[in-house]
């Protein structure tokens, strides 16, 4: 498979398209990023690596970090984790409040904000130094030991994250948050502020293409069964109310973030990261979605 040629060809095509998207503005700091950035990086399990565009420029991975916090919490709690959060697609926006009441404070899945807030609560209860320990976990998977939170992005979201404050307090009132909501949110905003570039992001997610095993040091990040289940959740819930569309058009497990990043994993093959800050109306990168659709079409490799 000549991934390099396919990536270059699809990049040119998508880069020349009209982009009707808009960068996220509800986190003020995200709007300061040059919205014309567009980068792609693919890392294969056999160590092939191909990048194009702004693939070495760090960006805010936002909700993509929810896969990493789930991975750490799943490793700690095992299957008990599903007593606190569900595994069903929500069919609603990432920050929706509406299902929580009917669902008695058990969020539909770990990738909507409510679910990721519950996962943050679990980590807070189980880690000695949550922020440091989570960062150490991410760095242990990555080839870059300097990966870090962005204090500027975290502060920007903390100042305006009223919906997340509402979600966390509402879940607390329904009995599914054990810690102080302010501490849970502080941790949640920090983990969403993780920054890295497309190369680092694709390398980081290779463990989910490799049955949960770190390709660099061969350590187990999660079990094989957990890796399959995390991929299943990315497939069904990774793009909120656009998850069906992503499965239909791209055919890979993936996860988006409002910073404009998307990670997609082809089990036993590769992880590919795409970044373009302008988002479609569902909050997913417009060019990122278009790129991955064309990429799996041209490479004729997807899990379906
Ligand atoms: O909580 C939030 O709203 C953001 N920190 C993360 C949202 C996000 O990335 C949704 N993804 N498309």
| pLDDT digits 0-9 by tens, 210-233 | 999 999 899 999 999 999 999 999
- The protein residue with its alpha carbon nearest to ligand 1, atom 7, reads 63
67-96: pLDDT as tens digits: 999 999 999 999 999 999 999 999 888 898
**Predicted confidence (pLDDT) per residue in 115-168, tens digit:** 999 999 999 999 999 999 999 999 999 988 999 999 999 999 999 999 999 999
**Phi, psi (rounded to 5 degrees) for 131:** -65, -45
Query: Which residues are bridge partners to 270 per DSSP?
Result: 44, 266
Is the pTM higher than 0.85? yes
Q: 189 alpha carbon to ligand 1 midpoint, in Å?
A: 9
User: What pLDDT was estimated at residue 300?
Assistant: 84
SS3 266: strand
CA distance 204 to 169: 32
- In whole angstroms, give the CA distance from residue 147 to residue 253: 24
Q: Is the CB of 192 under 6 A from ligand 1?
A: yes
Pocket lining: 94 vs ligand 1, CB cutoff 6 Å: yes
Residue nearest to atom 11 of ligand 1 (CA): 257
Residue whose CB lies within 8 A of the most ligand 1 atoms, among 192, 245, 285, for a mutation test: 192
Under 8 Å between Cβ of 76 and 84: no
Mutate which of 61, 95, 187 for ligand 1? The one with the most ligand atoms within 8 Å of its CB, which is 95
- For ligand 1, is residue 114 a contact (CB within 6 Å)? no
């Amino acid at each position: 498979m000549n991934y390099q040629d396919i990536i270059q060809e699809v990049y040119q095509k998508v880069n020349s398209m009209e982009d009707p998207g808009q960068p996220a503005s509800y986190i003020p700091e995200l709007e300061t990023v040059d919205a014309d950035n567009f980068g792609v990086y693919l890392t294969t399990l056999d160590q092939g690596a191909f990048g194009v565009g702004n693939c070495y420029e760090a960006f805010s991975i936002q909700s993509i970090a929810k896969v990493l916090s789930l991975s750490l919490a799943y490793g700690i709690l095992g299957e008990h984790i599903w007593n606190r959060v569900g595994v069903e697609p929500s069919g609603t926006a990432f920050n929706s409040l509406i299902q929580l009441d009917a669902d008695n404070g058990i969020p539909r899945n770990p990738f909507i904000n409510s679910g990721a807030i519950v996962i943050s609560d679990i980590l807070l209860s189980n880690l000695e130094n949550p922020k440091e320990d989570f960062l150490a976990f991410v760095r242990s998977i990555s080839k870059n030991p300097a990966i870090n939170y962005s204090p500027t992005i975290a502060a920007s979201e903390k100042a305006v994250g009223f919906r997340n404050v509402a979600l966390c307090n509402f879940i607390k009132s329904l009995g599914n948050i054990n810690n102080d909501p302010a501490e849970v949110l502080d941790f949640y905003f920090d983990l969403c502020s993780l920054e890295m570039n497309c190369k680092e992001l694709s390398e980081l997610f290779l463990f989910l293409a490799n049955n949960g095993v770190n390709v660099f040091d061969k350590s187990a990040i999660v079990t094989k069964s957990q890796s399959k289940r995390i991929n299943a959740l990315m497939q069904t819930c990774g793009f909120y109310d656009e998850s069906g569309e992503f499965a239909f058009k791209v055919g890979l497990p993936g996860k988006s973030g409002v910073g404009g990043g998307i990670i997609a994993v082809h089990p036993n093959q590769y992880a590919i990261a795409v970044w373009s800050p302008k988002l479609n109306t569902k909050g997913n990168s417009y060019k990122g979605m278009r790129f991955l659709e064309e990429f799996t079409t041209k490479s004729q490799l997807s899990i379906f």
